[in-house]
């Protein structure tokens, strides 16, 4: 499979956010982890995208 990024995300205990357990970026050949994406953060990013359009 020829992809740039592959990630494994799981829900936190409260199931109100997802946490990156492993993110692999092939062009940099690096692994990272720990980023958390909450519903609030996701919605705020979508609002900013809409306002910028």
The pLDDT value recorded for residue 50 is: 80
Average of per-residue pLDDT across 19-48: 89
Q: In sequence order, what E strands does the chain have?
A: 5-11, 17-25, 30-32, 36-38
Calculate the CA 4 to chain-centre distance.
14
Q: What separation in angstroms does the CA of 32 have from each of 24, 35, 51?
A: 7, 9, 31
The pLDDT value recorded for residue 34 is: 96
pTM over 0.75: no
Average pLDDT, the chain: 89
């Amino acid at each position: 499979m020829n992809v740039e990024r592959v990630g494994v995300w799981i829900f936190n205990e409260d199931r109100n956010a997802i946490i990156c357990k492993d993110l692999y970026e092939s062009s940099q050949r690096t692994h990272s982890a720990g980023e958390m994406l909450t519903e609030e953060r996701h919605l705020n990013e979508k609002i900013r995208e809409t306002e910028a359009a």
